[in-house]
Amino acid sequence: MSHANTDYGLRAEVWFAVCAWVDDPKELSALFRTCKYFHEITGPALYSHIVWHSSNYLTSAETLSSRPHLLDSVVLLTLKDFVFWPASKGFSGFLGPDISEITQGTPDDMIERIPVELRVITDLIPQFSNLQVLTFCRVRVPPTFYQMLKGLPALHTLNLSTCDLAAAVPRNMSGLSLRTLRMSEVRWWLGNSAASRDAMGSLACSSALQNLDVDAYVAYAVFQTVITHHGATHTPIGLRSLRVEPCSDDAADFAPVASFLSVASALEVLHLRRAPQNVAIPIGALPNLRVFSGPAHCADVFACGRPMQHLGVLDPLPARLSYHVPTTGDRQAKGTPPSEIVTAMEKVATTHPPLRRVDFRMTMWDSEVLYMLASLFPGLRDVRISCTQEGPDEDFMVQYAGQFLGRFTQLEALHVYGVESTSRDKPELLVETRGHIGLWERHSPRLQEVAMSNDVIWRKYGPRDWGITEPARWAGYGHE
């Protein structure tokens, strides 16, 4: 840029860095329109993350078309509510018998089927040479979809949510190097089930794929195709992280998942949204599993014999009273029926996993869970409990925290709150929490991070130096 030194007070490189930190598109857009100098400075930041909706994409797309130097700036692109096919009036519909009018023909024929007003998008996307993340949400993807992906050398993440696919799959997908693939509610419009399965799963056959997230709509097709592909090529499945939702809690619906887990030996992170009561995993499967989140009743199955360090479970019930004697006024400790969390963690404890972190999602708060953890897993470093209805009683954390915090000899992070609780706009509550943290430090001197509401995290920056940082809901992984 010719403006190495200007009257604007800073060098262009510094302005580039400043603009990269501005996350409000309106502010960047206002600066973009002030003068030619800031037009050049803010352009890369303004167009690095693009969200196009079917009702408001044209101006932005035309700007990029007229300024080719900005095309390399696009790193993330999201498309919402677009219909790229059919364009022809004679199209027979989703379930029509003649699907060949979509899946066959030359590339020029497929482009002709895209509505004219949307071709500016399909023309631009292959020119985004630095595009890394591509998201389609409620989109009938273009007939040139797969060819489009192969033309994006930097693409590593593809997200498809509530999408319709009707594109011919190239015979050679070797040019695609996806590392992360997420597919939910994706439909493939082909009459032949085998072709439908191969097309759906072909995206997951990238040799570089490490993170896969699939729901019940596509899980079976994807797993079958990946197993077949890697068996035919005699290559191991290199997945490191899997998030999957079986169709139901029935054992028959879980069987394809279990078969896939038995051959995905490199898997380190597994998020399972549901599982049958008597889930079974082959002995020796998942030897590298370090992180598991899923239903409480199967936690011990996945923890047994594996180097489990991070465990997340979901439980709709409060805990039973068995790990401490309630003190007068401890209203949170109730003699309730056994909880799945307590029952599950008792089983997990018998497998002696090297747990360092636990995440619990409960319906209502019960302090018994904390007493249970302190008794069974005193070496925990990170405890995170969120309640969907009501969090812990404020007085409990002040008066009784010392009874269990002292048992956690290694505790560094404690998140305990109701998902509806907030404190950012309550200065008096923030002051009280800061005072409580000083008390908790005496019981757990290693404590570095505390969250008592869903919008504030307290983090320790030095001796007696605690400050507020990002919302608690952004920290770590969740169960939603």
* The residue type at 313: V
Q: What distance in Å separates the CA atoms of residue 344 and residue 234, rounded to the nearest whole number? A: 38
Question: Could you tell me the residue ranges of all domains in the chain?
Answer: 1-46, 49-213, 316-480
Per-residue pLDDT of the chain (480 residues; tens, 9 = 90+): 444 445 556 566 666 666 665 666 666 666 666 666 666 666 666 677 888 998 889 988 888 888 888 888 888 999 999 988 764 443 333 333 333 444 444 555 556 667 888 889 999 999 999 999 999 999 988 878 877 888 898 999 999 998 887 655 555 555 678 899 999 888 776 544 555 556 667 788 888 899 999 988 788 888 888 888 888 888 889 999 999 988 778 888 888 899 999 999 999 999 998 888 888 888 889 999 999 998 888 888 999 889 999 999 876 555 554 555 555 444 444 444 556 778 888 889 998 889 999 998 887 777 778 888 888 999 999 999 888 777 777 667 676 777 778 888 899 999 988 888 787 777 777 888 888 888 888 888 899 999 888 888 899 988 878 888 765 444 443 322
> For the structural domain made of 49-213, what CATH number should be given?
3.80.10
